Amino acid sequence: MSELHSFVVNEEEDGTRLDVFLQGVCDLSRSRLQRLIGDDAVRVDDVRQKSSYRVHLSERVDVDIPEAVPLLALAQDLPLSILHEDADVLVIDKAAGMTVHPAHGSPDGTLVNALLHHCHDLSGVNGVLRPGIVHRLDRETTGLLMVAKNDHAHRHLAAQLEARTVERRYLALLWGGVLEPGVVDAALDRNRKDRLKMAVVTRGGRRAVTRVQPLEEMAGFLTWVEFRLETGRTHQIRVHAEHMGHPVFGDPVYSGRTWVNGIEPELRPAAQILLKSLKRQALHAATLGFVHPRTEETVRFVSELPTDLAQTVAAARALPRQ
């Protein structure tokens, strides 16, 4: 059995690669979509195209998504912090160091492995290695994730993400002084020199929008900031923060551990001490709000800062302001 989905290309999506376009509308992984394209399960105006094909305004893209095959990920008894659970949805408070789903380099020990041990009724929309996963957090980012326990809930939540109605607020320490609130509207795509990284691009890519609200300056070289996501691209906050010239403190990929070399020499010793105390990026998914797929009521969850980040923030506040 399979299910046919149809999408029409809008002005914003005109010129986007076929696989990237589908990733934005289907909420499936890019690798799975590329397999579907290769298996002749995708047609553009009834014509088979390659993943690299650039879609055009008003074209209709049909995707024949096969029924998910039996799960391959193993159930594992791993620590799992659950803030909410009912017949349709779980809300997880993810710890640092936990990858969301199995992938190359992390075949087990993931959130999915823990979920499979905890419950057996997860949605199959996203395939055998991502059961229940509606959205993701990076391995070293902490905080709130919603998980779907059935396909109806998954599609309902995914539609809210696509419509940008899910409330997702993050707290982060950024390098430098972020003085004014603002919006970063900058498309993202894979970094051409390093495919494991993302980058801001001026052509192609996928639109990414992040709202920035500075909350507190600390120690003369840090700012405590709230981010609100309107889109949810891979590494979005981390790349946008670097693009702003204020990388996420401690981020090993996007300048968050090397930016210290650019601050005033007299501030570097204190900054180095803080860097040594925090082994990851200072980024936490603190608030998550959405419409429940069964009750249609708006629900909202808040996650307290994890110990390592709370200690780093407290230490930064205790430093004298320069």
In the chain, beta strands by DSSP E: 2-8, 42-44, 60-66, 82-85, 89-94, 142-148, 167-175, 182-185, 188-190, 198-200, 209-218, 222-229, 283-291, 298-302
Cβ burial, residue 67 (10 Å; 0-12/13-18/19+)? exposed
* DSSP state for residue 206 in the 8-state scheme: B
Tell me which residue of 303, 313, 319, 308 sits closest to 92, measured CA to CA: 303
At residue 22, the 3 state secondary structure works out as helix
Q: Which two tokens stand for residue 144?
A: 């709130």
Query: Tokens for 206?
Result: 């996928």
CB 154 within 8 A of CB 68: no
Contact 13, 21 (CB under 8 A): yes
Question: Cα separation of 191 and 193, whole Å?
Answer: 5
| Residues that are catalytic | 138
